[in-house]
Amino acid sequence: MPELPEIETIKRGILPLKNSIVRKIFRSSLKLRIDATKKLDKIIGSQIISIERRARYLIIDFNNYHSLIIHLGMSGRITIDSNFKNLKHDHFACQFDNQQWLIYNDPRRFGFIDLVESHDLNSHKMLKNLGPEPLSLDFNHQYLQKKLANKNCNIKTTMMDNQIVVGVGNIYINESLFLAKILPTKMAKNLSKKEIINLVESIKKTIATAIEMGGSSISDYQNANGELGFFQNQHQVYGRQNQDCHKCGCIIERIVQNQRSTFFCKTCQK
């Protein structure tokens, strides 16, 4: 699924729905990770007052003091269309007063749609323990240095922990560690101050560049208008096992950490 840059791209794509009023709701009978089916009717007749992103969650606020939380899991997709065809894996759809449909499609169903009263949003179990946004000032080397001290875990897995920093998924941590020249297997507590400064900057740069390019389109990711992102063309290590490192020409290796693929260049990264 989409990482932060992909969600940000989708958010920008559905921003024009602001001020729209919900007319109809569709919900498939299949289970998502959270079952909010019974609550969803509450937004019928309500108007969207804001559309935001927090970590990998899309938050849509309505004027009746309810907020819709959308998470795309690994395979979720959101599209805007003037027709709703109820295709395979369409699990939620919502028609607005301008006749447009917002359609949520998720083959693996690792995602969810939930509805809460807006004042309870921050205490939602998926949102309450989130760390800082990678592009915020709160994510800086002083902060990270504190978090990594005594951390007995490899740096790659550590940085994918949403309590440390949100939205840095498997593509972008692999790319960020390459950019920062740090081995993914290095113990988090053993990073030097210089490496931590470097890593913070590399994550910010990687995420910001990916947002500019509309995210990474691998397999079937596309934005709300069905367009593809282009950041995958910039990948230095992700998905490039056995290919030449663009910097030094050595072979990119693939290992598994915490059941996720890790790609790195053992010459460039120390």
Partner DNA sequence: CTGAGCACCTGAGGGC
Partner DNA sequence: TGCCCTCAGGTGCTCA
* Residue ranges in contact with DNA by CB under 7 A: 1-3, 6, 31, 33, 55-56, 71, 73-75, 88-89, 107-110, 125-126, 151-153, 157, 160, 162, 169-171, 216-221, 258-261
Nearer to DNA, 65 or 110 (CB): 110
Min separation Cβ 65 and DNA, Å: 24
Strand 90-96 and strand 66-71: the pairing is: unpaired
Nearer to DNA, 19 or 122 (CB): 122
Instruction: Pull the structure tokens for residue 67.
Output: 């907020």
Min separation Cβ 220 and DNA, Å: 5
CB within 8 Å of 40: residues ≥ 6 apart: 25, 27, 92, 113, 115
Q: How far apart are the C-alpha atoms of 130 and 6, rounded to whole Å?
A: 19
Phi and psi (nearest 5°) for 47?
Answer: -110, 140
Min separation Cβ 196 and DNA, Å: 16
Other CB atoms within 10 Å distance of the CB of residue 38: 9
Looking at the annotation, which residues are catalytic? Answer: 2-3
Q: How far apart are the C-alpha atoms of 198 and 151, rounded to whole Å?
A: 18
Nearer to DNA, 21 or 135 (CB): 135
